[in-house]
């Protein structure tokens, strides 16, 4: 099984607001993909620490 880079997004309802935190406009607009990429780049360090915590929990669970 391959290791995930980010957690699955469909496990629960998305905790994203309807308003974009980059531009302040709605996320449902047509041209939101470029701002979405900006947001993903900003959040990459957060995802890295989250996935490191998940891996650490998984490693501890395996030892017990």
What is the reported pTM? 0.45
The predicted structure's pLDDT at residue 52: 92
More confident of the two residues 59 and 27: 59
**pLDDT of 2-48, one tens digit each?**
677 776 665 555 566 778 878 888 878 777 888 888 888 888 888 88
CA–CA gap between residue 13 and residue 1 (Å, rounded)? 25
User: Domain locations in the chain?
Assistant: 13-62
- Given a cut of 90, whether residue 53 has pLDDT beyond it is yes
The predicted structure's pLDDT at residue 22: 80
24 to 15, 19, 27: CA distances (angstroms):
16, 6, 9
């Amino acid at each position: 099984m391959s290791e995930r880079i980010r957690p699955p997004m469909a496990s629960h309802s998305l905790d994203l607001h309807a308003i974009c935190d980059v531009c302040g406009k709605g996320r449902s607009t047509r041209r939101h993909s470029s701002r979405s990429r900006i947001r993903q780049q900003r959040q990459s360090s957060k995802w890295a620490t989250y996935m490191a915590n998940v891996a650490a929990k998984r490693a501890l669970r395996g030892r017990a």
